[in-house]
Structure formats: C-alpha cells, structure tokens
A and B are shown apart, each in its own frame.
Chain A
Amino acid sequence: MSEYGLNYLEQLEAESIHIFREAAAQFEKPALLFSGGKDSITMVHLARKAFAPAKIPFPLVHIDTGHNFPEALDFRDKLVEKVNATLVVRKVEDTIKKRSLTEPKGKFPSRNWLQTYTLLDTIEEFKFDCCIGGARRDEEKARAKERIFSVRDEFGQWNPKLQRPELWNIYNGKIHKGENVRVFPISNWTELDIWNYIRKNNIELPSIYFAHNRKVIVHEGQLVATSDYIKPSTDDVVLTKKVRYRTVGDMTCTAAIESNATSLDEVINEIISTRISERGETRIDDRVTEAAMEDRKKNGYF
C-alpha cells in the first residue's frame, strides 16, 4: 500500500462520514434512529466524527418497544449525555393505546411489527424528512439490494422495483412532500467490520455484549432470557448459563449465545470462528419465513 493508502476500515469510515454529511446537508429535518445496539452506537460514534467539533446536528430517535434490556436503556442515557445529543423517545406502548392496536400474543410477543406504527407517527409528529438507520447489507438478503438513500412513500413503504440508481458517490435525496428517505451510512459494513472498528476506536458497549450469567430457557435450540416479558411455562427448564448477546434487540426476540468471551478480543475471535450468521443465530423473528424481512421492509420497517 502506498504512503497515502487507507485500509479497509478507514475507507468504510470515510464513506460513512461522507453519507452522514450528505444527509445533514440535503434534508431539513433528519433524525438518527437509535436502537441501543452496537450498530447504533457505532453510528453515533461516526456521526460525532462527521460533524466535529460541532455536536451532532440532528436528534437521536429511539422507538421504544418497552421490551428493552435495562442495560441497553442505561447505556443509551449515558451515551446521550456524554455526546451532548438530543434524544427523542417514543413508546410503542403509547401507540398501542392511542390507536387501539392488538398486542401480539404467544410466548414471544414481539412488538417488531408494531414499531412501524410508532415510527411513522414519530416521523409525522416531528416532520422528519430523513431517518438515518444502522442497517447493513450483509444482514439479510433483502437488505443486499437496498440503496444507501432509500426513498419511502408516505406510508413508509419501500418499493424494491422502483429504486433510484445510485452512482459513483452521488446521493439523490430529492423527495416530494410527505415522502421520507431512509439513509444507511454503514450499508457496506459487515458484522466483523463493526467489531473490528469498535476495537480500533475503543468504543464502549453495553455489558450484555460480553459474557455474563443469566437465567435462560431453551426454545428451539435458542437461549432466551427469562424476564418480565418472557415467563417460563411449567414445562420449561430454567437454566443459569454464561451467555453474551451478539445483537441487542427486544428481550422478546433476541436470543443469547453461550460464551466465555469477556473482552472485545475474545468476542472477535468467537465471531471469526463461528459459522452461523448474526440474524440466524439471535433473531427469533426472522426465522418465520425466508421472506420475513422483505415483507417487513415493504411495510415501512426500518
């Protein structure tokens, strides 16, 4: 590599910063969707770098399902304070009441579908014209085809057949009133890239990403933590296992994995040696149908 070469992580970082700046410049009211997971946390880190020495010029928006890990919420509040950002929290609970929606039933009552309602209401409330999200194209088949600037209609819907061509480093964020653009600055990162970047930049993460003891039940081969939202039934065996989380979503739809990895180096080593994909291993909701994500996205999911 020449004296002026960037390594792959530096290239990814530069591309993401470029995208953040395009979003801030092209839209009147952008927002950063913040879920509390490692990808969101990395996004906040990138956004700080993009606009330093000024603060992040848009709010962080958390669509709160009410099923969060308490560790993730604590971490969120500390992070927001540390970077002096504006935080907007809107609760799925309130949307359910206001719109008299039906709560999902069953043992793992995922509010993932309902999040969409709250998100669209929040977009409407604040007139956000751009929502910056931490989705990565390597996560799932449908994501692999999505643009970095992805236009949604007034119902928040994605139309995979009517995407704008995205050429060179040019991003077209022109929209009609009522439409909205989802911007994905870390589209080209993989799970391993994120972890390597976190290590390189000493980015702090919630404790649940590292091995700890937790009470779990085994459901179809996956370890699910017991909590206020997941109550073990009589035939469940509650075990205490040393686990960590590879993704952090809702307690109702995120599974843990057995692990002894207590440091970033150990986590990265485990990821390199593991042969199961991130979503396949830890997301209960994506296993329903192969086209699950495609359906959710068309309906306005992140």
Chain B
Amino acid sequence: MDLLRFITAGSVDDGKSTLIGRLLYDSKNILIDQLEALEKSTKNRADGSVDLALLTDGLRAEREQGITIDVAYRYFTTPKRKFIIADAPGHVQYTRNMITGASNANLIIILIDARQGVVEQTRRHSIIASLLNVPHVIVAINKMDLVDYSQSVFNNIVNEYAEVAKQLGLDDVYYIPMSALNGDNVVEKSSITNWYEGKPLMQYLEEIEIDNDVNFTDSRFQVQFVIRPQTEELHDYRGYAGRVISGVYKKGDKVKVLPQGNESTISSIEIAGEEVQEAFPQQAIVIQLADDIDISRGDSIVKTENLPKVANELEVLLCWMDDKPLISGNKYLLQHNSRLVKAMVKHVNYKLNVNTLQQQAINDEIKLNEIVAATIKTVSPLVFDSYSRLSVNGNAILIDETSNNTVAAVMIG
C-alpha cells in the first residue's frame, strides 16, 4: 500500500468542502462521534441533512464566517492507498495557501461549477498546478445535478478546459461529471450519468500510477545533520544524515561534495543504524565517506558522473507570500532543502499574470500572492537542478531576516 497526496482547488462555493466530506463519508472514514458533533452543529437546515462541508471547517473563526481560511490536512485510507488531502481555500487572496498545499501534491483536483464552466479562478489554479509541476490533474465538473446531468454541458466544459490544459502543458488530465452533494461519481459510479465512460473519482485516486513521477536517475543528497557519537567504540564515526532527494546511492559510489568540490567514495550507507547496500528516493539515511572531508549541514553529496548546477546567481519564479511588499535590492535568507544562505533579490524582471499567463512589466510594488520572475544572488553558491526538470532539488523559500517569516516560494529556473 502506498501514499498519495492530493490537493483540492476550486472557487468559493464550488462545493470543495462538500466533496471532501463526501469522500470521507462514503469511504467510511468519518466516525460516529464526529458525525454526531456534525449533526449537532448543523443548524436550521430545512431538509434535516448533515452539512458535509462542516467536517473540514476546523477553526471557530471559519465556522462563524462560513469560509476556509487556511490549508487543512485530512487523512483517509482505503484498502488500496493511504491518502493525505491538502484542503486549500478558493479565495483570490489565498493563492499562497494553494501553493503551500500543491507543493507536495502528487495530484490536484480542480473543481468546476457545471453552471459556470471555466472561470478566472479555474485558470489561476491550473496555472499554479502547472508552475508547481503537479503531475496529475483531475477536473471534477461538479453540481451536475443543477444542470440536469447534461452530457452536452459536460462536454463543452471538457473542451474548454482541454484548451487551458494544452496551453499550460498539463498532460495527464481526467474529467469527471459529478455531484458531490448527492455523491454522483465520487465513490460509486452514478447510474444517472450513464453516458459517462470514465471512472468515479475514488477509483482514479486509487489507481493513478505515481511511481513513475519519482526520479531514479539523478542522484541528489543534501546533508541535514552530522552524526558524531564520540563514544569510545565509535570514536572516529562521522556520518552524514539526510534524505535521498532523487536517484540511487550505493556503497562504493564515487561521489563529489558540493559546493566544495572534493571527491571521495561512499564507505557505508545506514538506515536507522543498520547498514544497507543501496538507498533510493525519500529514504532517510546516513552516509559515511572513505575520506576525511570537512562537510557540514547543507552541503550536497552527488555522484561524480552526474552533477547538478552550482551557481550563486539564479533566475527564479517566485510567489510572494508576505503582507509586506517585495522590494528589489532587499536582502533575505534563502533556504534550499536544509541549506541556508544569505541572498538578495537583485532584479525583478516581470510579473506573471496568473489568469492569462502573460508577462507584465513591473510598474508597482510586488504584493502578496503575486508571481514574478526574478534574479536572486546568493552569498555562497547553491547546488540545484532546475525546478522544471527535477522539482525536488529546484525549490526554495525566502525568509525575511527581520520578521523570520517565510515570504516567498521559489522555483529555480
């Protein structure tokens, strides 16, 4: 059984919370007492049904305002997979939450209201999915009950979205006619939409192949923590702890330490204190090298025959996430996996219109939720790959040194 992380995106009132509630409810992942609490808080509903959306609205402020204000994580399991849902709100002003939720997602569900078709927010969410390289897209055309489950309405929206997907280079896209409220094509295939030949949502979630999204070719590893037991029996032990970012490492591999440039050989790989012969992506390992080299947190250990880029001037796309504006020439900290370096946003080149994908000239300050192309200079070099080729080694954040806030999501070019 493996693990699939997905994000749901939609405009306000597209029925996103209802959909998540429905997934949890129909897959029997809601428990009796949670349901009772739900029924208790469902007030004044004429038909006496439970409001599934309340299952996901966690904070009191949200319940009072009836909106979702922050990314929430939900969990459910079927016999085939464990799922982690990042529930990101749909409001225009919360683009940063969607980016947060999408950054780790294998898949995105984009909700479209069948009565509205593709709207500005649909484009925005799709552009973000494409910028972040989310590998799989499910377009859930929801509220089909309100358009009499019309096949032509569905087909028109599919055609309309296919244009968007083509423009953005989204190539693994599935379309589902759905009513989250009534449960049509969510967990079970609906008998009303008998013209629909695809699968219900749950079946896609369970069956979409995600193994191929992992890169086993380019070996990337960054040191998180240096383990030095300094006990009598392990007097000279010096292990480099970290996670395999991508590729495969084996005992005996010739490696290069970057940015320093020293070469050595892997003398052992351990997982939880046990020696292993090889290690692969996501595993948390400890590497020991044959030679004594000065290595610290944030340094990369890569194979000599396949090297990443090393540079201290980067062309990036960044999404600004702070209430205070981005100002060209300001200094920040840049964190790339565990490597923290001082950086400066040297120049902002253009602003990306997230509704049209057009490049716009900068004639104003860069505000919260805006995506720009910029040139960043770092004090010491970064060891990276371009985000579009190997996203796991091409992402970073900017931290404001005065507030300590995370102020930008960075995708390195």
Contacts and interface: CB of A to CB of B under 8 A. Distances in A.
A50 B37 contact: no
A193 B82 contact: yes
B58 A169 contact: no
Nearest to B391: A168
A22 B223 CA distance: 10
B22 interface: no
Nearest to A23: B225
B33 A281 contact: yes
A181 B407 CA distance: 18
A17 interface: yes
Contact of A141 (B58, B71, B284): B58
Interface in A176-226: 176, 187-188, 190, 192-193
A87 interface: no
Contacts, number: 180
Contact of A14 (B100, B243, B333): B243
A190 B335 CA distance: 30
Interface residues of A, number: 62
B406 A21 contact: no
Counting chain B CB atoms within 10 Å of each CB, which of A55, A138, A167, A174 scores highest?
A167
Contact of B229 (A8, A53, A137, A163): A53
Given A22-B224, A53-B273, A170-B337, A187 B211 contact: no
Nearest to B34: A277
Interface string A235-258: 000000000000000000000000
Contacts of A53: 227, 229, 234, 237, 239, 270, 273
Interface in A19-58: 21-22, 24-25, 48-55
Contact of B34 (A14, A151, A169, A280): A280
Interface size class of B (residues with CB under 8 A): 35 or more
Contacts of B392: 168
A73 interface: no
B33 A280 contact: yes
Contact of B404 (A21, A54, A169, A176): A176
A25 B106 CA distance: 28
Contacts of B228: 54
Given A145-B70, A170-B337, A11 B3 contact: yes
B273 A25 contact: no
B258 interface: no
Given A50-B241, A276-B32, A6 B282 contact: yes
Interface stretch (B138-146, B180-188, B347-355, B394-402): B394-402
A61 B179 CA distance: 50
Contacts of B34: 277, 280
Interface stretch (B73-81, B108-116, B303-311): B73-81
A160 B335 CA distance: 23
A154 to B, nearest CB: 14
Nearest to B87: A144
B23 to A, nearest CB: 15
Given A5-B211, A166-B100, A52 B270 contact: yes
A176 B405 CA distance: 11
B31 interface: yes
Closest 8 CB pairs of A and B: A52-B273, A280-B33, A49-B272, A4-B280, A17-B284, A54-B229, A141-B58, A174-B404
Interface of B: 1-3, 31-34, 37, 40-41, 56, 58-61, 69-75, 77, 81-82, 84, 96-97, 99-100, 103-104, 211, 214, 216, 224-225, 227-230, 234, 237, 239, 241-243, 248, 270-273, 280-284, 286, 297, 321, 333, 335-338, 392, 395-397, 399, 401, 404-406, 409
Given A10-B283, A164-B406, A290-B40, 14 more contacts: A4-B214, A8-B1, A18-B284, A24-B225, A52-B273, A53-B229, A141-B58, A160-B70, A165-B99, A166-B100, A167-B99, A168-B392, A172-B404, A281-B33
